[in-house]
Structure formats: structure tokens, C-alpha cells
Amino acid sequence: MELDQYLKINGNNMKIVLMTILLTACSGIKLQDTEPVAEVTAEPTKVSVVYSQQTITVQNGKAKYINFQTPQEDGSYALDCTEQNSPKPLKQKIPYIVKSNVGVTYYAESYFSRAKKHFCYSEGQLVLEVNVSRFPYKKEHLKVSKKKIDLSKKDLARVIRERKITSAIYKKSVPYLLFDKPFIVPLDSFITSHYGNQRIFNNKKRSQHLGNDFRAKVGVEIPSSNRGKVVFVGDLFYTGNVVIIDHGLNLFSLYAHLSKILVTEGTILNQGDIVGLSGMTGRVSGPHLHWGIKMNGHNIDGFSLAEESKKHFKSYESSL
């Protein structure tokens, strides 16, 4: 083979080799560029949501804000709970709302609860395991005259009658939340009697104080703790003039011993709207505000609700 002919052939070979390298390189680049895009457009990602499970610890008489993942559509639902070692479901279901696959509710533990564990289910799926621990509520020993603690037949009949009225009210909460910000404590004054204090009269008769008493002279304006609907106004034996507000999802607030009620049943109140003026109506020894929270059938400590609802509306808090 002549030298110039050899170079020509090998030159052509070189061209072929170079083109091959270039094509491979180009196709390589092309593949890297297009593949991820093709994946996204060809197969849109479908995330299937499943129930999430969590374990919480709640003290008796306190509330907890709960949220969990759920495959359910937006709407109102309820959790079924059971007690450890008991197959029987608890009487009260816990209502919750679902928005964008997140279930939201408040869990309330009874003041009287001694159970070690509760299990709560949605559609048979375990979503909540509750460890109940006991809060060391204070005991007060009081000596009082017998007639001060024993009710007359007439008064007892009245108390029973009124209890029926209020328990019917507590069964008719709206199945969604009427509020969109954390609960506020109605007054910033001294607490004259804390939630949960046990009063033992004459070493035998016991009663529990299932609300918080705020020092207030007669006539102080009492604001609503949160947005809600006035579902009861009236004069009851123990509470005197009282206003009960439904905030939705079995969550109620109560303002007792008022000297004057300034709202009417059926009115939607915003947080801070004045429900009435403090006073000393009902069974009291002096003027004060008794602030109660009823949640899912239990009287719980309003301060725990105020704290827990801050977790619920974190974004609201940070925008303040």
C-alpha cells in the first residue's frame, strides 16, 4: 500500500471513530437531559395517603391538639376509642374534621380517668394510642355546716332538671370548627381557685372544682374565649347567670356567676366579644368569674386548651 493511500484510508477511519465518539457523547447528553422530564410527564406521581399512627400522653383533666394523616376526603368524621383490656368502645366518639388528607381534633381526658391506655380508631385503623397519666391536683380539707353541703329536696330536683337541659345542649355541637385562632383566657386576674382542686368536706363529702375561678368584682366585662355560637343563656342553681358557647366539634366554653348577660341564644360571637358582666349569682361566696371548658363530654382545664390551640394555629401565632 502506498503511503498516501494508507493515510487516506486511516484518515477516513479516524473520521468514523471521531463521529462515533461525538454521536455517543451527544446521545449521552441528550438522554441525561430528557429522561427525568419524560418520567414526570408520562407518569404523573400519585401519592396514596395512608393513616398515620401516633402515641400521646395526656393527663387527666387536660386537652391535647391532635392531627393525623388520613386517606379520607374532606369532611366531618369521628374516632372510636376503646379502653385497654376492654373490648367495649367508649361511649363518646371523638369528632374530627379532614382537610387535604389531614385529620384535626382535640382529645380530652376525663378528670376522673384512671385508665392507663386508650386506643382510637378511624374506619378500624388505629390512629391514636393514648397513655393517661395522673395530674397531682391539690386537695383542700374544709369543715362546713351540714346544711351548706346537703341540698334540700327542692334544690336537688332543680339541679337534676337543669343537668338534663345542659347535657342536651352538650350533645348538639356543630360538626366543624367555628374558630380559626387559639383560645384566649378570658381574664388576666388572679386565679382564686384552680381547675381540679379536690374539696373534701368534713372528711367525707368530696367535690371537684372543674373550672378556673378568676378574681373579678361585680361588673367586669367578660370576653368570649373564641369564635362560636351562643347555645344557652340562663340562670342555673350552681352557676347562676351563665352563657354557654359552642365552638364546634364538641367543644364548649362556659361563663358563670354573671351579674348581667349581654348576649342571646343563636348569636355568633367573635373572640373577645363581651358575653356579660361578672357577678356573684348562683352558689358562690363572693364575686368572681367561673370559666369552664366542656370538651367531648368532659370538663377540662381551659388553660390546657389555650396552650394546645396555639399548636393548632402556629401560623397565626407567628404572623402576630
Binding residues (CB under 5 A) for Zn ion: these are 211, 213, 290
Least separation in angstroms between CB 149 and Zn ion = 16
Take residue 159 and report the three cell numbers written for it: 339541679
Between 216 and 249, name the residue whose CB sits nearer to Zn ion. 216
Least separation in angstroms between CB 256 and Zn ion = 7
Between 196 and 223, name the residue whose CB sits nearer to Zn ion. 196
**Nearest residue to Zn ion, using CB?**
290
DSSP codes of every residue in 58-119: EETT-EEEEEEE--PPSEEEEEEEEETT--SBPSS-EEEEEETTEEEEEEE--TT---SEEE
Residues whose CB falls within 8 Å of the CB of residue 2, separated by 6 or more in sequence, listed in order: none
Take residue 182 and report the three cell numbers written for it: 387559639
Rama region for 135: left / alpha / beta (φ>0; ψ in -120 to 50; rest) = beta
Coil/strand/helix, residue 200: strand
Between 290 and 312, name the residue whose CB sits nearer to Zn ion. 290
Least separation in angstroms between CB 84 and Zn ion = 33
Least separation in angstroms between CB 246 and Zn ion = 21
Spatial separation of the C-alpha atoms in residues 159 and 181, rounded to whole Å:
35
Between 97 and 218, name the residue whose CB sits nearer to Zn ion. 218
Least separation in angstroms between CB 111 and Zn ion = 14
Between 101 and 198, name the residue whose CB sits nearer to Zn ion. 198
